[in-house]
Structure 1
Amino acid sequence: MASTGAVAPITSREIAVAERMPGHSPLIASGPTETTSWLTTPWHDGPSTWDLFRTVRTTHQGTREACDAAVDLCLAVADLYRRGWTHGDLQPDHAIHTKTGAQLIDCTWAASPTLAPSRIFRGGLPHLLAPELAAGCPTPPPPHRPAAVAHCRHSSMARPARDPPKCRL
């Protein structure tokens, strides 16, 4: 990723996040300057959450794969929260599903107790924005029950497709 001019500070913020966020893709190289910023990270081989939900959107099939992807995404976000971070702009294309789980990408707007939220961007997709972020909390409270997502997934896999799981998170 490279940017110049007024957009260079946005790429510089992504560099700052990449250097600090535990579990973030390591930087291969980066070069922030006053007028240009660039960074290189490893490639994550796999589809995005958006790609994994394509079959559900178009044919109403593939719900098991979509459920697995949703659980992987929830676990990745729960891990981020457990470490005191928020993503800040979670979107279906901002998670790549690899063999080892969902890898969160495009973390420019992430925040933590040691990295204040950006004043440049205060947006996000409303249906994917956590309530505490919408309310303006700078960092999330610890997850209430992070294992509940995995329990819900296990319960849903053990039932016939027409019998939805009864999960309480």
Structure 2
Amino acid sequence: MPAAVLDALTPTAQRLVVNRRGSTVWEAESPRGHYAVKAGYPIEATADWPAQPWTALAPAREGAVLHRLGLDDLAYGEWDGGTWNYQPWHEGPDLYQLWEPCRRPDAAVQPHISVALGCVEALAELHGKGWAHGDVQPAHFIIGIERTHLIDLALARGGYVPTGYDFPFRGCLVHYEAPEIARSVLATGQAEPTQEADIYALGASLLISATGRRAVEYPDDAPRPVQREAVASGRRRDVKVPGELGALIDTMLSHEPADRPTAYEVGKALNAL
């Protein structure tokens, strides 16, 4: 954990949550409160993957975004390896974890509308402030007791971010990329996150969490460009979520951005269910 964070929080307990290429995350208990601590560093090139220097900037960029969104109980800065931030910890399972019983072969449990509504409300709150998330996926919806939290805003766009911490958006997990994002990344190497693409990603997140099936079919071991080509071409699977929730997800996954409902419209439809 970066020394600046240790000095600021003086944690009484800490737990390593994530340690992957370019990012480390801890859960930290502190006299000041309960925090998530993130440290980023650049990813070196390998035979299979190009270098990814942006991962070093992601924690500070997220900190700047959260500050612009009005969160004061946080800090961000630089360390020898890259940048860091700490922010309030949100307790609870993520969407994919919570809906695991729905994906069992003999499942008698159906996806609960109130859970989907909580996810939509969290996204609608961000959209209402003029931002697009850019990295909507099941792991980024934390289902708390009182509300659902949408986390990991390092790729969000919609307001000022300090130039020294900013970097181009080069797509996200392809499972949740909208066709127009995939096309742009294939053509230019980058794209612009939009609220319409967030809605597609939310539909894909609800679908995979409820059924275990991706929105678009491609081999599990396919290279990322091949995955994106499948998404861009619109070769989408049928939505196998029963009832009106399935019909709503199908609309959210519309190929054309203009054909997708807004977060407000999705919330209104779910409330009616």
Q: Distance in 2 between matches of 1:50 and 1:146?
A: 20
Q: Distance in 2 between matches of 1:53 and 1:47?
A: 9
1:19 alignment counterpart: 67
Q: CA deviation at 1:138?
A: 5.2
Q: Distance in 2 between matches of 1:145 and 1:3?
A: 33
Q: Distance in 1 between matches of 2:126 and 2:40?
A: 27
Q: Which amino acid aligns with 1:90?
A: V
Percent of paired sites with the same residue = 30
1:61 alignment counterpart: 108
User: What's the Cα RMSD here?
Assistant: 3.1
Q: Distance in 1 between matches of 2:159 and 2:102?
A: 38
Q: Deviations 1:31-88 (Å, cap 9, x if unpaired)?
A: 32464322211111111111122111124333253x2221111121122111110111
Q: CA deviation at 1:107?
A: 0.9
3-state secondary structure, aligned to 2:118: helix
Q: CA deviation at 1:133?
A: 5.5
Contact 1:88 1:133 (8 Å CA) reproduced: no
1:167 alignment counterpart: none
Q: Distance in 2 between matches of 1:41 and 1:98?
A: 16
Q: Which amino acid aligns with 2:121?
A: L
| Structure 1 residue runs without a partner (length 5+) | 157-169
Which deviates further from its counterpart, 28-37 or 88-97?
A: 28-37
More helix, by proportion? 2
Q: TM-score normalized by structure 1? A: 0.70
Q: CA deviation at 1:154?
A: 3.6
Q: CA deviation at 1:129?
A: 4.1
| Structure 2 residue runs without a partner (length 5+) | 1-37, 43-52, 185-190, 197-259
Q: Distance in 2 between matches of 1:21 and 1:37?
A: 20
Q: Distance in 2 between matches of 1:131 and 1:70?
A: 23
1:80 alignment counterpart: 126
Q: Which amino acid aligns with 2:41?
A: T
Residue-pair matches, total: 151
3-state secondary structure, aligned to 2:85: strand
3-state secondary structure, aligned to 2:121: helix
Contact 1:75 1:149 (8 Å CA) reproduced: no
Q: CA deviation at 1:104?
A: 0.8
More strand, by proportion? 2
Q: TM-score normalized by structure 2? A: 0.46
Q: Which amino acid aligns with 1:2?
A: A
Contact 2:123 2:263 (8 Å CA) reproduced: no
Contact 1:86 1:139 (8 Å CA) reproduced: yes
Q: How has the CA–CA distance of structure 1 residues 90 and 150 changed in structure 2, closer, same or farther, with 3 Å as cutoff?
A: closer
1:155 alignment counterpart: 272
Which deviates further from its counterpart, 13-22 or 73-82?
A: 13-22
